[in-house]
Amino acid sequence: MTRPSEEAEVAVIGAGPAGCAAAIGLARGGCRVLLLDRQPTPRESVCGEFLGPAAVIALAGLGLDPARLGAVPLRRARIGWGMREAGFALPFSAWALPRQVLDGALRDAAAAAGVALRPGLAVQGAWPEGAGWRLQTPGGAIAARQVVLASGKHALRGHPREGARRGALGLKLHLEGGAAGEAVTLLPLAGGYAGLQPLPGGGANLCAALPGSTLGGTMGWARDPAAFLARVAAGSALGARLLAGARPAWDRPLAIAGIPYGFRQAATGPAGLYRVGDQAAVIPSLAGEGIALALHSGLAAAAAILAGVPAVAFQARWRARVAGPMRWAGLGAWALRQAPGAAVAAARLAPAARLVAWRTRLGAEGG
């Protein structure tokens, strides 16, 4: 074996919200941290861009304020199906912020905390070696005592998410124009759902989660932004009204297949490998809690490593911690798929709708 070109106490793979949060927490605890990401600069990703109260608390602990980053406040939730629609005031403060902006701010915060950031460096594989780990990159090998796997929805070669079933197709498209307002809007489709929320400076972010069984009939949406926009607008009077006059801002939607909604990492795996973010749990996107789970899982992994908690024990704790929000979000996703009309009727009962909105939140107590 060749001598590693670089060494660190902890190597973090992935500089999204989960990876940056873990790296910052570790660096503040005195660890020598190496943060690697295959992208040279932050980019948009298939994500709803919703920041709920747990995400805001985590960001505050990392020194970031959504309002200062230009986030748009979200005050209401809406849902439409056919000619029916309903809306209610969100029972908590929430924000909309593009991932490119958020990830850029988190990378800057990591660098300011003393993290050694290596953008544009892809990790081709990782395996245990001696008392630690060896990572292979195009620039050479890297040695680390422990590894935090924060590669999002993308698996690391040799370390798949065990038990994760191939799931939904996720699409995302930024729009110019439209009338998203200060609301997050759910727009059920045949077998799936779309979500709409505003962008800073105008326009909107349109996302959709579609079941894997329909991929043959929906892959055209991933290539044709106008078709994607038209299909969502055709699903409800609310969608048609909000999307009237909207224009795709990109040549094609971002797309990712096989998203295993409902997955939770079991308390298994090699020693020294801590899974965070979507590598640890994938909550149905309608909950809007994905970024909160990413941030808090990264911080929890950092705390576990600093305290000497083994990776398997950390995974068991995180699996238990996210069980409640995952269960409620799964129920909501099932209702949207099976009975969207009933979901609209339930949303008209504002107290019940607000209760479900709260139940899908991650408790922000310590990790």
Residue 208 lies in a domain: no
Q: Cβ neighbours of residue 215 under 8 Å, at least 6 residues apart?
A: 169, 257
pLDDT of the residue at 153: 86
Segment 137-147, tens digit of pLDDT: 998 999 999 99
Domain count for the chain, please give it: 1
Q: Where are the alpha helices (DSSP H) in 73-159?
A: 99-112
Compute the distance between CA of residue 205 and CA of residue 198 in angstroms, rounded to an integer. Answer: 6
Coil, helix or strand for 145? strand
Look-up of token digits 């065990």? 162
| CA distance readout (Å), 249 to 62, 81, 195, 222, 319 | 31, 25, 17, 14, 38
Q: Where are the alpha helices (DSSP H) in 283-322?
A: 290-307, 311-321
pLDDT at 113 over 80: yes
Residue 11 lies in a domain: yes
Residue 240 lies in a domain: no
Residue 288 lies in a domain: yes
Q: Which domain holds residue 113?
A: 6-80+92-164+262-336
Residue 319 lies in a domain: yes
Compute the distance between CA of residue 313 and CA of residue 141 in angstroms, rounded to an integer. Answer: 28
pLDDT of the residue at 34: 97
Residues 271/128, Cβ–Cβ less than 8 Å = yes
**What integer best gives the mean pLDDT of the chain?**
92
pLDDT at 367 over 50: no
Residue 132 lies in a domain: yes
pLDDT at 35 over 90: yes
Residue 187 lies in a domain: no
pLDDT of the residue at 220: 66
Give the predicted TM-score (pTM) of the model. Answer: 0.95
In order, the DSSP letters of 47-69 are: ---EE-HHHHHHHHHTT--TTTT
Q: Give me the CATH number covering residue 311.
A: 3.50.50.60
Q: Which of 238, 262, 260 is nearest to 319 (CA)?
A: 262
Residue range 125-129: mean pLDDT, rounded: 94
Residue 256 lies in a domain: no
Coil, helix or strand for 151? coil
